[in-house]
Structure 1
Amino acid sequence: MNTSSIHFQLSFIEPQAHYVEVSMFIEGFSQPYIDLKMPVWTPGSYLIREFSKNVEQVTALSKDGEKLLVSKISKNTWRVYTNGHDFACSYRVYSFERSVRTNFVDDSHAFISPAGTFLYVDGQLSHASTVQVILPPQWSYVSTGLAQTEVGELVYYAEDFDILYDSPLEIGNQDIWHFQAAGIPHEFAMVGQGNYNKDQLTLDIQKIVAEETRIWGSNPNDRYVFITHNYQSAHGGLEHLNSTVLAASRNAYITNIGYNNFLSLVAHEYFHLWNVKRLRPKNLGPFDYEQENYTPLLWIFEGFTAYYDNLITRRCGFRNEVEYLNELVSEFNLVLNRPGHLLQSVGLSSFDTWIKQYRPDENSPNVSISYYNKGAMLACMIDISIIVGTNGEKCLDDVMGAAYERFYLMENRGIEEKEFQALAEEVTGVSLKEIFKAVYEITELDYNAYFNKVGYQFIDQNKLNQTSSLGIKVSHSDGRTTIKAVDRNSSAWEYGLNVDDEIIAVNGNRLDQQGRELDQAMTYSQVGDEVVILVARDGLMMEIPVKLKASEKVSYYIERNPEASEEERRLGDVWLSLG
């Protein structure tokens, strides 16, 4: 019986020049030509990234060494005229973009993002494949969630291309250690220098894994791999089926804030094992790798995860009550200080992620919000509603565990918003209609009313302090003060100050290199005063009189309500695991 196979080899002839060489061996396909395609995006990062732009020198040879015709027929498709013969396709991928979602190769290591590296045979995404890594002599290790075909061999197996594209590889001399968490083997691979403490990290991550496994009821892994890239300054991550890639600041591990933020990042990406990688929106899987995969549900799958990451650090004892509340309230302040919250709902934010979330510009705060922040806000309101409605017997954990069991373990399918809401109300007996309605509205919930029910209050400390504001953000560089953002409906917006205007003087006073005269003018001006701004716009000088309006910025904080009842305080202790 004729069986087909797809095998890749990765080698690194010129890593210092940022290239990975890829050979793809294809056997057992009888058609006269085969179309090889590269994804245009990678799951978990919702942006068309056009990975094919980095592919060079695509050639093909038959098994007998005959050169085959290769024709590029679209931006990400190469047609190989095989006449039914087995063949090898070779190409190079330029890899020099530092992120958790893109290839990076230099003389110290290689990070391989599979969607930007491996071509697939059109129509064969369900086909198994193997990947062999040819290590250059200066490198020693490979860290990946892919299963090895044989112990000690650097050949890895993926049962389909969804798994291959969800399994990044770190190749080099990374610092590797292993530990058990929730009964599952875990590997940690640290890339680059950092002031981390392996023993402390291991203990704290074990607590996170145990708590998250408790929430979901079971852990789906046979093994799990953390890949962390240490930079001078970085923070971010990307989830995968049984691994994650994190970016961290190398010197932040020894500060309380820096270390706790890293633990929140770990908690966030690990939570995705369940929330989005398995319990998922209906439209996110099976994936179409050639175009956008739209869903309005990222407010649940990213926003709920953003709510849980800091909450888990609170439950594990890494943050005290005040530290946690400060982290939580930052989600509210980030959303409510963006004029875009009056224009874009969180449901639309989820749907528009492909054109807005990963392509911010100077006007983004005026027209959009993040489903991470707003989703976390709504998750908090749902959690509080359930705790109050069940007298502290249940919380959002119960909904997440039940959804995972029903929609993934039992039915193995994606979900729609209406059935998630129905399940939540079924499991808890609590109506969540008001909150789910708010997903598609731009009016805000009465957040203080929710917090009051668990003995806290949500207060804007700017409410009684009317201060004047231009409504701009500036940068100081090379002795120049330049406008970088203008808030919708602010004084600057109304009177015509523009992004990229260089502010030369205010009220006839020339700005120094730090722009202190601008700060002084605003400090001593009142609402209704006029200031005259001299700007250089595209090389031309112009004076712009601006009548100052009141600042619309909020500064909320969450604290215990001194008038809370004993029962409200008890429910608050349940919410924050303070008992």
Structure 2
Amino acid sequence: MSESAIHFSISFKEPQAHYAEIEMLIPHVESDHIDLKMPVWTPGSYLVREYSRHIEHLYATSANGKLACEKTSKNTWRVAAGKNAGPIHVFYRIYGFEVSVRTNFIDADHAFISPAATFLYIDGLSHQPCQVTVHLPEQWASISTGLPKLPTASNTYYADNFDTLFDSPLEIGNQDIWHFEAAGVQHEFAMVGGGSYNKQQLTSDLVKIIEQETAIWGENPNSNYVFITHNYNAGSGGLEHLNSTVLAASRNAYKIDAAYKNFLSLAAHEYFHLWNVKRLRPKALGPFNYDAENYTAGLWIMEGFTAYYDNLIIRRCGFYSVKEYLNALANEFNLVYNRAGHRVQSAAQASFDTWIKQYRPDENSINSSISYYNKGAMLAVALDTHIIARTQGKLRLDDVLREAYNTFYKKEGRGFEEDEFRRLAERVTGVDLGEIFDAAHNTVELDYNRFFREVGFELIDLNQDSQELSLGIRIVEQDGRLFIKNVERSSGAWDAGLNVNDELIAINGNRLDSAGKELDFALAQGQYEDIVDLLIARDGRIRTIHTPLRYCRKQLWSIQPRIDATEQQKERGRIWLSVVES
């Protein structure tokens, strides 16, 4: 390692109180002062999280004693160093007690360290190499991280720069660790919090997933990879990193078939990001500005395509039957089309606005936004099936991704613009894909059945002929009382003026019980556009809202084989959904 490397030491004097102590050693300073900064967000999770709010008691010293240190912005500390200063030591504590895959969590049992929420960097010098030494409390025995270990020092790891450091979380404690090889790469699995998992089965299934994904991309760019899984009573979610991932799962769900397959899909999703996001990426996603938002309209490609492939990989491995896979894919359509927001926000807009919407849902989000995960998966299946059909099964979306990876990442070493990605896709396949790419930028829906029919399937709304009535509200029960949680745009409740947080007391003069049975009865006995009288309490005041009944607009999509599909279409469908031998 370079002598200019910045060295961090992390220790845990009071883990039970959720604190870690950080020492930052800066070997040499060439200016009168340095600005130390903490990222406000972490790569892969597009929200400004203000990590610096958890720093306490920051001070700096040199051989001459304590140095003047002034906080100049929410995440910046200016240290008066003096030119050609010798080593400078910076000390601070961090608090971590938020359960997520993107934030620090420290307690008596273990510590999960998110580097962007932990380590300071010198403004303008994020390219510097760095080292991290972990001082293990006597009750902890293990460290799991994608960072390579420094052979000359105990429990010390290094990174070539801060981009790598910030993308390499650490799990510290007594996690259950095992190792395996897949696609020529050494893998470590670290389980935290116990669970009903079967190591042998899980390893065998992960090997299949890893080898399927490596085959798509043509190579596995890592020499090692680490899965860190936090098991909770109820948990979900994941976050990708350069050569590791952090997953959250329910500890007792591994023996439940559907839940276990969902976990495999999550692992497939985050591992797919090893290529798609971490290497193949839009220009905005690296090098990063850790001070502010990094905007791109292309997350529908990065996250949406990955959301399409995660379940498709599970099908290719043979873990999903065709029916199970099609049900999982149809759910993407249900999640989009059952939000009125799909008429308001496009996939590209959802991508760009992720910083203010995706991670900050509110009571009106269903009416104003969609997820670029779900909508991107819909667009991806349109691309995949269309390419398969137009090339008679010789090419598919896999071939586009592999060429994009080779071109933009390997050959040119840069991120791409969306129009470049589109042109490459059309060059590789010889297929006009403009309609699908354009659909990502507007709210006019594609006729997805045009693409499904090409491979022998059709998308059907099983509720299309339903005469079920609805107010257009979602209610929740709290302490035996019913409250409105959401109001659907253009529903009867919306037009009548019912509000979120209104307490429902009675309907048509009948008191509502906590199960809402009288409400169900009124809906079952009513007619379209009947007016019902809802007695509500709003901010402690009683009023009656006259509300029309409308047809329920909930859609239930299913993807089914077409009875009249031609043999050619059926063959394309077999190519699309085939199990692939690894």
Asked if TM exceeds 0.5, the reply is: yes
The residue number in structure 2 matching 1:431 is 432
Matches of 1:216 and 1:151 in 2, distance apart? 36
Matches of 1:162 and 1:55 in 2, distance apart? 21
- With the length of structure 2 as denominator, give the TM-score of the two structures: 0.98
1:5 aligns with 2:5: yes
Cα offset for 1:140?
0.3
Q: Secondary structure at the match of 1:384?
A: helix
Q: Secondary structure at the match of 1:214?
A: helix
Matches of 1:429 and 1:406 in 2, distance apart? 17
* Deviation string, structure 1 residues 287-326 (Cα, Å, up to 9, x no partner): 0000000000000000000000000000000000000000
Matches of 2:363 and 2:472 in 1, distance apart? 13
1:421 aligns with 2:422: yes
1:391 aligns with 2:403: no
The residue number in structure 1 matching 2:158 is 157
The residue number in structure 1 matching 2:135 is 134
Matches of 1:519 and 1:406 in 2, distance apart? 58
Partner amino acid for 2:109?
S
Matches of 1:448 and 1:121 in 2, distance apart? 53
* Deviation string, structure 1 residues 517-536 (Cα, Å, up to 9, x no partner): 22222222221111111111
Question: Residues 12-27 of structure 1 correspond to what in structure 2 (within 5 A)?
Answer: 12-27=12-27
Q: Secondary structure at the match of 2:67?
A: coil
Cα offset for 1:63?
2.9
* Deviation string, structure 1 residues 463-515 (Cα, Å, up to 9, x no partner): 11122111111111211111010011001000011000010111111111222
Matches of 1:340 and 1:494 in 2, distance apart? 17
Question: Residues 293-332 of structure 1 correspond to what in structure 2 (within 5 A)?
Answer: 293-332=294-333
Q: Secondary structure at the match of 2:66?
A: coil
Matches of 2:170 and 2:58 in 1, distance apart? 22
Matches of 1:198 and 1:178 in 2, distance apart? 10
The residue number in structure 1 matching 2:70 is 71
Matches of 1:8 and 1:151 in 2, distance apart? 16
* Deviation string, structure 1 residues 521-564 (Cα, Å, up to 9, x no partner): 22222211111111110001111111112222211111111111
Cα offset for 1:264?
0.2
Matches of 1:525 and 1:356 in 2, distance apart? 37
The residue number in structure 1 matching 2:442 is 441
Q: RMSD of the alignment, in Å?
A: 1.1
Q: Secondary structure at the match of 1:563?
A: coil
CA contact (8 A) 1:4 1:29 kept: no
- Unpaired segments ≥5 residues, structure 1: none
Q: Secondary structure at the match of 2:349?
A: helix
Cα offset for 1:3?
5.4
Partner amino acid for 2:134?
V
CA contact (8 A) 1:504 1:536 kept: yes
Cα offset for 1:99?
0.2
Q: Secondary structure at the match of 2:466?
A: coil
Partner amino acid for 2:73?
S
The residue number in structure 2 matching 1:483 is 484
Matches of 2:152 and 2:381 in 1, distance apart? 46
Matches of 1:246 and 1:575 in 2, distance apart? 28
Question: Residues 137-536 of structure 1 correspond to what in structure 2 (within 5 A)?
Answer: 137-150=138-151, 153-536=154-537
Cα offset for 1:220?
0.3
Cα offset for 1:31?
1.3
CA contact (8 A) 1:63 1:88 kept: no
* Aligned-residue identity in percent: 59
Matches of 2:236 and 2:5 in 1, distance apart? 39
The residue number in structure 1 matching 2:45 is 45
Cα offset for 1:271?
0.1
Partner amino acid for 1:98?
V
1:31 aligns with 2:26: no
Matches of 2:561 and 2:3 in 1, distance apart? 67
Cα offset for 1:61?
1.3
Q: Secondary structure at the match of 2:254?
A: coil
Aligned length, in residue pairs: 577
Matches of 1:525 and 1:21 in 2, distance apart? 64
* Deviation string, structure 1 residues 320-352 (Cα, Å, up to 9, x no partner): 000000000000011011101111111111000
CA contact (8 A) 1:467 1:527 kept: no
Partner amino acid for 1:545?
H
* Deviation string, structure 1 residues 205-225 (Cα, Å, up to 9, x no partner): 000000000000000001000
* Deviation string, structure 1 residues 199-250 (Cα, Å, up to 9, x no partner): 0000000000000000000000010000000011111000000000000011
Cα offset for 1:516?
2.1
CA contact (8 A) 1:187 1:226 kept: yes
1:81 aligns with 2:106: no
Q: Secondary structure at the match of 1:302?
A: helix
Q: Secondary structure at the match of 1:78?
A: strand
Cα offset for 1:30?
2.3
Partner amino acid for 1:378?
L
Matches of 2:352 and 2:18 in 1, distance apart? 35
Matches of 1:262 and 1:124 in 2, distance apart? 39
* Deviation string, structure 1 residues 13-45 (Cα, Å, up to 9, x no partner): 000000011000111112121110000000100
Q: Secondary structure at the match of 1:462?
A: coil
Matches of 1:377 and 1:167 in 2, distance apart? 31
* Deviation string, structure 1 residues 170-194 (Cα, Å, up to 9, x no partner): 0000000000000110000000011
CA contact (8 A) 1:3 1:28 kept: no
Q: Secondary structure at the match of 1:317?
A: coil
Matches of 1:79 and 1:519 in 2, distance apart? 63
Question: Residues 557-572 of structure 1 correspond to what in structure 2 (within 5 A)?
Answer: 557-572=558-573
Matches of 1:574 and 1:167 in 2, distance apart? 37
CA contact (8 A) 2:52 2:117 kept: yes
Matches of 1:433 and 1:36 in 2, distance apart? 46
Matches of 1:227 and 1:198 in 2, distance apart? 14
Partner amino acid for 1:554?
Q
The residue number in structure 2 matching 1:539 is 540
Partner amino acid for 2:241?
H
Matches of 2:154 and 2:180 in 1, distance apart? 22
Partner amino acid for 1:487?
E
CA contact (8 A) 2:29 2:81 kept: no
CA contact (8 A) 2:315 2:579 kept: no
Cα offset for 1:138?
0.3
Matches of 1:328 and 1:132 in 2, distance apart? 45
Q: Secondary structure at the match of 1:424?
A: helix
Matches of 1:247 and 1:509 in 2, distance apart? 45
* Deviation string, structure 1 residues 422-443 (Cα, Å, up to 9, x no partner): 1111111111011011111111
Matches of 1:451 and 1:29 in 2, distance apart? 62
Cα offset for 1:4?
2.9
CA contact (8 A) 2:458 2:560 kept: yes
Q: Secondary structure at the match of 1:300?
A: helix
Matches of 1:232 and 1:558 in 2, distance apart? 33
